[in-house]
Amino acid sequence: MPNIYQRLLFPLAARLDAERVHDLTVAFLAQLSRSPAACALLARLLARPAPSLAVERLGLRFRSPLGLAAGFDKNAVAVPALGALGFGHLEVGTVTPRPQPGNPRPRVFRLPADEALVNAMGFPSRGAAAVAANLRRWQPRRTGSELVHVPLAANLGKNKDTPLARAWEDYASGLAALYPYADYFVVNISSPNTAGLRDLHAAALLEELGAALAERRAALAGPAGRVKPLLLKLSPDLTPQQRASTLAAAREGPWAGLVVGNTTVRRAGLHTSRPDLPGGVSGRPLFARTLTWIAELRRELPPGWMLIAVGGVFDADGVWQLLLAGADLVQAYTGFVYRGPLFAARVNADLAERVAALGAPSLDAALREARAVAGARALVAVS
């Protein structure tokens, strides 16, 4: 089936506009999501990761470490169907407080030779109220086979016409609208497709944003409510100096961890020479950089901080490498596009085989064993 998709279906779809295919796919999954029976059947086939893959993070149980990154289901219209495909968590959005169309089309482009995409979407969103209504509709389904132990994250952004000095208001507004329905929140300051957005990495603006969200979250949680985690999504294009400054400011904020990273504006190393295309690159070209970032950040950050790796994941080996480097969870988007509907189920099956081959009772135990072996080899090599 994966070969049929890659050899036949994807090449046929590649003849059409990339965003048009995406819209049709999401519309189909949204229609499928309306049928609990269909989603339950699909989940019995694909959403059955081995119990050994379950992990506890952020006070939540994830049935597998592989999740779907933000950008695929921007408006939370296809949550049950995506859960039925086997993902261990789903991140919806990016959600802006008010509806906005995003940047002009065409704005999504395929680079098949690189197994990459270029997108210049600019946060097209139906707005926080519409996304909240969709998430509310799926709440009764959260205990079903397709969504049990599949935490939902909401990716928050700002509207294009909101001045940077008041960006914190947009993020606080989105948090308030979606707070009852998401399990944790990802604050997106890293997209290259909204002018000035990446300036929010600057220490002063990031500290202001963190303080505003901490205050709004405390009010939303109430005296006896659950304080839901806030994660910060970083740009992969930060210089070492920018990263050091951003991390210093983040340590002073309300953040429970980081999502690393987003699309890159860099074009070096691509087989496809299209410097005219606007936007950021996602997919396989980002993997090496994501792996390096995760390893470095795990050494730099407090041990309790969450790290979610996203960028260039196409198979179980990529997931394993990122987890071994220090990621708590891994997300994919472009790999899902290129590998098709069985992507998550196949990755989960291969991960479970790897854990079983190591004779470990769980993924976490297998990773501890693998890290210990790698550490011992490193010591031998040094000596």
Instruction: Work out whether strand 230-234 and strand 184-188 pair parallel, antiparallel, or are unpaired.
Output: parallel
Please give the Cα distance from 283 to 164 (Å, whole number).
29
Strand partners, 332: 68
Please give the Cα distance from 65 to 54 (Å, whole number).
7
**φ, ψ dihedrals at 359, nearest 5°:** 70, 25
**Cα angle: 235, vertex 239, 243; to 5 degrees:** 65
Burial class (CB in 10 A: 0-12, 13-18, 19+), 68: buried
Instruction: Work out whether strand 306-310 and strand 329-332 pair parallel, antiparallel, or are unpaired.
Output: parallel
**φ, ψ dihedrals at 191, nearest 5°:** -70, 135
Is residue 191 annotated as a catalytic residue, yes or no?
Answer: yes
**φ, ψ dihedrals at 356, nearest 5°:** -65, -40
Q: Provide the CA 103 distance to its chain's centre, in angstroms.
A: 21
Instruction: Work out whether strand 89-95 and strand 108-111 pair parallel, antiparallel, or are unpaired.
Output: unpaired
DSSP run (H or E) holding 231: strand 230-234
Q: Provide the CA 101 distance to its chain's centre, in angstroms.
A: 22
In the numeric block, the tokens 């999740």 are attached to 67
Residue of 64, 173, 190, 191 marked active site:
191
CB 66 within 8 A of CB 319: yes
Q: Which of 196, 202, 295 is nearest to 247 (CA)?
A: 202
Q: Which of 238, 259, 250 is nearest to 214 (CA)?
A: 250
Q: What is the CA radius of gyration of the chain?
A: 20
Q: Which of 105, 40, 9, 56 is nearest to 337 (CA)?
A: 9
Active-site residue set: 191
